[in-house]
Amino acid sequence: MRVSVVGTGYVGLVTGTCFSEMGNTVWCVDVNEEKINALNKGIIPIYEPGLSEMVLRNRESGRLNFTTDIAEALETSEIAFIAVGTPMGEDGSADLQYVLSVAKSIGKHMKRHMYVVDKSTVPVGTSEKVRSAIQEELDKRESDLTFDVISNPEFLKEGSAIADCMKPDRVVIGVDSPCAEAAMRELYKPYFMNNDKLFFMDIPSAEMTKYAANSMLATKISFMNEISNICERVGADVNKVRLGIGSDKRIGFSFIYPGCGYGGSCFPKDVQALIKTAENFGYKSKLLQSVEDVNHAQKGVLVKKVKERFGDDLSGRVFATWGLAFKPDTDDMRESPAITIINSLTDAGAKIKAYDPKAVNEAKECYLKGNDQVDYVDSKYEALKDADALILITEWKEFRSPDFYEIARLLKNSVIFDGRNQYDANRVAEYGIEYHQIGVRL
């Protein structure tokens, strides 16, 4: 099929590339000229395992194209995906300005019947706004072209986006016409040998499914962080409790890892947006508000531990931090706990030696820009030299089995604060290292 994907960010670039991998001809569109020029030179703007090779392969085959010109992309497309950002607005609701601006452009430039598919995460009712925005532009043109609006939320995770896209757990599609359903079935059929993972439903249910999924996952994490805080106080070990409850199939092991709070471009904004949507319909969600509140507090737990150990005034102290990205295998730092943790430590007078395998540029140029108490180093061991303690924030693989002998030798004080509970406390103790974890009393 011929597909346009408007918005070439994490979702647009990954899904557009995966559509082309399946044999479709794809136009990825973005207003960011620098990004499109880079992609046309084969430079991939984000770090995502496996993406670069797939982009280059499909670009070479001519199936994957990049442009800033939406009219050029729509010229031959039957389907147009909207995959732009829906950031948190000032009042907590999803800001739909980018989605609606794309809808307008589609209305302005479409030349045939189009299936307009919303892949961005949007509140219930957005498809109607998209429909009106497109129709308004068609009316201005006095055009009698027709179109279908479809909701197809995306569930990929950064760091495993290609695998999530090529082998999805499910594809949720909200439609209100048989031809829209047929078109989407045709597009997604190659992803499944049979169609049992395609869930067709009405549009509001599809829009709601996305928020419900992210809120459920965020709830699991906040629940586990709450349990970890209780464990610490009563003298239980959350690592053991996690195994004890996860082995119950009804609970399961995924998304019950305690830590220093969830980050990323989606959980924080989507939980907030669902709270706001519910509020707009006269319902106050106490549970979702608590999920958010627990997460906000959790980002402060490591700093509290550091202050309990070294005092409230951290002047003269240097801390090595491992990890800046909001999770491993991405250079994305949006809402990363590292931002809160590092800024709180430097506010208390500390200096930071930060290492991350991929996210240093993001930190320098954006998320920690202006914090001159942070030095960036090129290796995890370099960060440790003369530091008072190591603080592990993101569980990159290269931090999983470090040389504890080297850690103890390089640090001024042999102390680790682990925000992701990566190590066996008994092993760490053998090196004389004081080991602070989440949800375990020292």
Kindly state whether residue 102 participates in binding ligand NAD, applying the rule CB under 6 A: yes
Q: Which of residues 21-60 bind ligand NAD (CB under 6 A)?
A: 29-32, 35
* Sole window of 130-138, 155-163, 362-370, 397-405 interacting with ligand UGA (rule: CB under 6 A): 155-163
Q: What track of x and - describes contact with ligand NAD for positions 254 through 293 (by CB under 6 A)?
A: -----------xx---------------------------
Contact between 356 and 339 (Cβ < 8 Å): no
Contact between 150 and 116 (Cβ < 8 Å): yes
Among 31, 52, 155, 199, which residue sits at the site for ligand UGA (rule: CB under 6 A)?
155
Kindly state whether residue 12 participates in binding ligand NAD, applying the rule CB under 6 A: yes
Q: Residue 362 is which amino acid?
A: E
Q: Of the listed 18, 28, 231, 266, which one is catalytic?
A: 266
Structure tokens given for 333: 């730092």
Pick the closer one to ligand NAD by CB: 31 or 138. 31
DSSP states of 311-365: -S--TT-EEEEE--SSSTT----TT-HHHHHHHHHHHTT-EEEEE-SS-HHHIII
Which position's Cβ is nearest ligand UGA? 266
CA distance 271 to 219: 9
Pick the closer one to ligand UGA by CB: 21 or 270. 270
Least distance from ligand NAD to the Cβ atom of residue 321, Å? 24
Kindly state whether residue 273 participates in binding ligand UGA, applying the rule CB under 6 A: no
CA distance 234 to 4: 55
* Sole window of 58-66, 80-88, 353-361, 429-437 interacting with ligand NAD (rule: CB under 6 A): 80-88
Instruction: Decide if 266 is catalytic.
Output: yes
3-class secondary structure, 394: coil
Pick the closer one to ligand UGA by CB: 67 or 422. 422
Question: Alpha helix locations (H) across 68-202?
Answer: 70-74, 97-109, 126-140, 161-166, 178-188
Is residue 376 packed enough to be buried (19+ CB in 10 Å), middle (13-18) or exposed (0-12)? middle
Least distance from ligand UGA to the Cβ atom of residue 121, Å? 6
List interacting residues with ligand NAD (CB under 6 A): 6-12, 29-32, 35, 83-86, 98, 101-102, 120-121, 154, 156, 158, 265-266
Catalytic residues: 266
